[in-house]
Structure 1
């Protein structure tokens, strides 16, 4: 037991160190976790014999619940709703098209059995939220046209469809369901039960979190963990799609106002990161590189077909309906990374009673390895080459942990020449209620303010105030000023803004509060506030 715990701690520490190293080297961190698992595995350096697929399938199912829940919980719906029709079309119809095309390729080109070909297509049909989120965050990919939100919403919501296809094909292979009517009935049951139960649990969970007084700190987060587990188990017991329900509950709870939501976001961010490490490490641990030569060529062929033919054929026609340009279609096609879900589904196939002639697990292993290594590494470069980077955007806004919640806010005030507070004691200055001077930056010195402290020219006053927490949210918007913008080269007092006000200007890495005489220039990012923006 002690040796096992020591080994687990060493693996986790190594994974965290790999995270830092991979970011510096430009290699997706999830690839490092797979390779670390291989190093510990039977054919690796440490030669730990481990082939308990049944245990891993159960562990990975739990891990995927957290990954699916946080896929919804961490998505900022305010940013994503604009691209929701595109994303949901890709996550449903796009998954079916991808699975079918890969199945046809495996059947006609690789000469696999028909049902087994479709099964491989279903397992590999969904893009991986963990992989996509990891690349977008670590590489700070600020993509045009809401593409980051599109990729997040698609990758977070398409796993339930891939799961449903995998379960259906496995049941047909076992001879349990084969008629079109029974298949359609199963699909409708999976979707409807998943949707209805998911929305019901989300509403109950939201009401409970807002009304229950959790006297012990952290119990509200534990309560949400229980809600996430219920979101999967309850609809699954009723014959519904548990992963669809889990994603819906996460999406709803992640986009409503909840007490101590900041702590919940950080908890699930860390927990999901640990689950991702676990899934990818276990995949590497289960892999036997000595068995790779027999499936390497088919796996490479499937990866190439999936990446360059199946994914584009599934993405481009669907996005063309929404008049997306070719650059966005190309980036979305390339960003179809395979990962945790495909791993879990491949393990599920391995432990299932349905007979498969080929080594589905190791085929999927190779495809995931190539997808993360090649597509994940080249995604930033391809985005730049297609001119899809827009530095006036911030990809972190598409995640719910972008805005840090705090009951205390700080502002900086510089006492420039002529300011009426210069030469006065702090105790003689009338400040607004609940506002205090926290400390003073005077050159290289930090001054703790007292009532008798005399303010000097060029002092920077760091002032604190209680954060606004009213029931009606303050509407804020950012406006990027390019060369052709109507506000370019105009002073603020020349603008007609009856229902809003420019409260901040971001210019060349610096931010300042403008006055009426401040002039707007090309490249400025304006922060507006008001009831009607």
Structure 2
């Protein structure tokens, strides 16, 4: 049983219809928790994304996360309108809530089952699932606005969409750069204070984008993407901290869904829930993926099929399903119960079938050595001896933190000697003239570091 599904069951057992008997029906609190959870889930997704890996699949990911989400919403929405007791806007609202793919749900299954996808599949799924949530959120909020204000024009959504995405992208990128500078420049006495600093900056990034009229969720995702691809102190530990925080947020939301759901109310909507699942999994998702990837003719059919199947639903639909409850949408309870079916079916059916499908389509490959070891081996670090360097007076490195040197991945400063005493360097260590460095690195990267620590800064001036 997937871990998140276990917490869903625990929430149901603790709820009003279970042995726990907790009657939790505070939709406003659930939405507030969901918004905060989504902020940190998206930030962690961006933080873990390597730009070098997703850049070759950028346009594929952008199409899937925007046009793909829109096509899925339209297909499922019209199916719900014609087959179920929904108005067109209500059907589209339901479809928008379940339209995005959950990154954490996808990769938790890939990692737990040790499935290694070939070629561009993994970075493409990573980019799409991490970046499609802002589109689903925008569609959900916009459709709720149209339902509650029938006189509003759908055409007004286009400039609003452009404004929110543009401002969110700019704010996110700038805040990511500012976060790297802040983490490197602000000197904190205890390492445990740095996660608090980054958490505060993430919330500030969301608030700033929202105040300026941008999409705060897109802003925090791009802030994480920008920060994760820059050098900053305690990088590895901070990435682990935010990964743990994102998992905790997902667990909270699955527990919340379990508490909000009344199992006794699910049987009457079981047919509608299964219908939406079938349309979403077997019709809407495949069609949207195949249409979005149509321009990329070099992509093989098995890869397209795999991407269309790996459309797992997770915490984001749970969070979005609480929004209609607080907006007073007429069929909010029905929508919430159907979303429950979609998430549950997606985790059970798609989640359990991903490993055998990957093997059947022959898009998996044997596991590779850990990335750190492979990078070291590729760069020749395992064969490179230690090299002694000295920080010269007046060099560009004097007065800088090691994190500010932007060392390549194949460069490691093992020991720093200052006044005859060996020190263990860290990202926040400030270099001084006369420091001795024991370095292990490959040729080009070593020359880059040598240039920074030995060449005087004034020599660069014309």
- How high is the TM-score relative to the length of structure 1? 0.70
Task: Give the structure 2 partner of residue 335 of structure 1.
Answer: 310
Q: 1:360 aligns with which of 312, 332, 335?
A: 335
Is 2:177 the partner of 1:213? no
Q: Is the 8 A contact 1:338 1:372 kept in 2?
A: yes
Cα distance, 1:329 vs. partner?
0.9
The DSSP-based 3-state class of the residue aligned with 1:145 is coil
Partners of 1:50 and 1:234 lie apart in 2 by: 32
Residues 35-69 of structure 1 show CA distances to partners (whole Å, capped at 9, x for unaligned) of 11111111123222211111111111111111010
Residues 247-288 of structure 1 show CA distances to partners (whole Å, capped at 9, x for unaligned) of 000111111111111110111121111111111111111111
Q: Is the 8 A contact 1:69 1:247 kept in 2?
A: yes
Cα distance, 1:209 vs. partner?
1.7
Residues 56-107 of structure 1 show CA distances to partners (whole Å, capped at 9, x for unaligned) of 1111111111101001011222222222221111011100000011001001
Residues 442-486 of structure 1 show CA distances to partners (whole Å, capped at 9, x for unaligned) of xxxxxxxxxxxxxxxxxxxxxxxxx9996442569xxxxxxxxxx
Q: 1:250 aligns with which of 214, 218, 224?
A: 224
What is the number of residues matched between the two proteins?
Answer: 398
Is 2:237 the partner of 1:263? yes
Task: Give the structure 2 partner of residue 375 of structure 1.
Answer: 350
The structure with the largest strand share of the pair is 1
Partners of 2:200 and 2:145 lie apart in 1 by: 30
The DSSP-based 3-state class of the residue aligned with 1:388 is coil
Q: 2:260 aligns with which of 268, 286, 289?
A: 286
Q: Is the 8 A contact 2:231 2:406 kept in 1?
A: no
Q: 2:67 aligns with which of 93, 99, 108?
A: 93
Q: Is the 8 A contact 1:350 1:360 kept in 2?
A: no
5+ long unaligned stretches in structure 2: 389-401, 412-440, 446-462
Partners of 1:531 and 1:432 lie apart in 2 by: 15
The structure with the largest helix share of the pair is 2
Bigger radius of gyration: 1
Q: 1:160 aligns with which of 123, 131, 134?
A: 134
Q: Is the 8 A contact 2:106 2:310 kept in 1?
A: yes
Task: Give the structure 1 partner of residue 322 of structure 2.
Answer: 347
Cα distance, 1:350 vs. partner?
1.3
Identify which of structures 1 and 2 has the higher relative contact order when contacts are C-alpha pairs closer than 8 Å and 6+ apart. Answer: 2
Partners of 1:357 and 1:50 lie apart in 2 by: 16
Partners of 1:433 and 1:187 lie apart in 2 by: 54
The DSSP-based 3-state class of the residue aligned with 2:322 is helix
The DSSP-based 3-state class of the residue aligned with 1:336 is coil
Aligned pairs for 1:226-245 (under 5 A) are 226-245=200-219
Cα gap change, 1:433 to 1:168, in 2 (>3 Å): closer
Q: Is the 8 A contact 1:193 1:240 kept in 2?
A: yes
Is 2:14 the partner of 1:30? no
Cα distance, 1:183 vs. partner?
1.5
Is 2:159 the partner of 1:185? yes
- How high is the TM-score relative to the length of structure 2? 0.80
Q: Is the 8 A contact 1:65 1:246 kept in 2?
A: yes
Is 2:143 the partner of 1:169? yes
